[in-house]
Amino acid sequence: MSKKIITLTRHIIEEQRNYPTATGKFTDLMNDIAFAAKLISYHTNKAGLVDILGETENVNVQGEIVKKLDQFANENMIKALDHGGHLCVMASEEEERVIPIPEKYPLGKYVILFDPLDGSSNIDANVSVGTIFSIYSRISPEGRPGTLQDCLQPGFKQVCAGYVIYGSSTMLVYTTGNGVYGFTLDPSYGEFLLSHPRMRIPKKGNIYSVNESHFDFWEQGIKNYIVYVKQNDPATSRPMNSRYIGSMVSDVHRNLLYGGVYLYPASTRSPEGKLRLGYEANPMAFIVEQAGGKASNGQQRILDVTPHELHQRTPLFIGSEEDVTMIEEFISGQRTFSR
């Protein structure tokens, strides 16, 4: 007997039936995101074939070099999302200010924040990259353009978060607060098909993912944790395995499947950490929590942080619950360790 095939659209429609007040706008918005993801996937896959590689002279608002494919992904996300009548404002990691909906298009009740191509410094090496998105309901009055305040809501208010990973296959993973679902793009049909229903992250993992070259610049608690996970102690399954792709979507996605923890701590060189709260930490935190994991800035649950600026950075510890809790204990000094 053949297996039931569930497309992304069908899954969303069936999920929306649980909400009697649903208008179909959310379904439309997700379809637009899926369309943008297909375009970006197509172009990412042929990145080595066309003259799209290499750095432009542009530097994004974070002061980092922007690759051409970043701009392509950014433009495609905006073009795919601006006209549907479901959004009132957008914000992108690649744009300094919020992105208004053009006047010629209707306004809607949702707000979207996105990182169009995370990990893009990896593109030249054919390493997986991803698109991350985060959706809120607007808090500004309806009928008018959305505002910066709409984009500065704490992560626990997200109504949906997801990422698309452009890897050996393209996958879209999302949550609306009712579990985590993963869809694999079937290139022959051009459809995202449900491949990973109800994803769960193991309570304890055996992988730690961190850029260890920053060791000397970390606070003592993080140093102690990293020394601890490398110690030989078979009784507690140590040493843990080290895996760092340098592309957060890919590192977190792998840890979601296998169990483990991703760390991007603050350091004396970057006291706020590197990753962005709105575009990276919040959406990944919503997904990982919905899969049974945990996300923290070291002191506090990521989703409880109220942002005060659009491109706010945050330290991030995300993954299997017991591993993240242990990192918090090392940071607070409740646990300590030295060789």
Residues near ligand AHM (CB under 6 A) are 64, 93, 115, 118-120, 211, 246-248, 251, 274
Instruction: Give the span between the Cα atoms of 287 and 180, in whole angstroms.
Output: 6
| Nearest distance from C-beta of residue 269 to ligand AHM, angstroms | 10
Of 326, 302, 333, residue with least CA distance to 203: 326
67 vs 86, beta carbon nearer ligand AHM: 67
Q: Identify residues 99-138 at the interface with Mg ion (CB under 5 A).
A: 115, 118
108 vs 298, beta carbon nearer ligand AHM: 298
| Nearest distance from C-beta of residue 280 to Mg ion, angstroms | 5
276 vs 294, beta carbon nearer ligand AHM: 276
| Nearest distance from C-beta of residue 177 to ligand AHM, angstroms | 24
| Nearest distance from C-beta of residue 115 to ligand AHM, angstroms | 6
Instruction: Give the span between the Cα atoms of 83 and 113, in whole angstroms.
Output: 16
From Mg ion, ligand AHM, none, interface partner of 86 (C-beta below 5 to 8 A by class): none
Query: How buried is residue 156: exposed, middle or buried, by Cβ count under 10 Å (0-12/13-18/19+)?
Result: middle
Question: Which residue type does 336 have?
Answer: T
How many residues can be counted in the chain? 339
From Mg ion, ligand AHM, none, interface partner of 120 (C-beta below 5 to 8 A by class): ligand AHM
104, HSE (Cβ side, Cα atoms, 13 Å): 1
165 vs 172, beta carbon nearer ligand AHM: 165
Task: Return the SS3 of 330.
Answer: helix
| Nearest distance from C-beta of residue 186 to Mg ion, angstroms | 27
| Nearest distance from C-beta of residue 211 to ligand AHM, angstroms | 3
Of 304, 204, 335, 176, residue with least CA distance to 295: 304
Q: What is the largest CA-CA distance in the chain?
A: 64
Of 224, 225, 226, 231, residue with least CA distance to 213: 226
36 vs 66, beta carbon nearer ligand AHM: 66
Instruction: Give the span between the Cα atoms of 240 and 245, in whole angstroms.
Output: 16
Instruction: Verify binding: residue 150, Mg ion, rule CB under 5 A.
Output: no
β-strand pairing of 207-209 with 261-264:
parallel
| Nearest distance from C-beta of residue 226 to ligand AHM, angstroms | 14
Task: Return the SS3 of 216.
Answer: helix
58 vs 231, beta carbon nearer ligand AHM: 58
What Cα–Cα distance (Å) separates residue 246 from each residue in 211, 216, 236, 298, 301? 8, 19, 27, 20, 23
Quick one: DSSP state of residue 233?
B
180 vs 248, beta carbon nearer ligand AHM: 248
Binding residues for Mg ion, per CB under 5 A? 115, 118
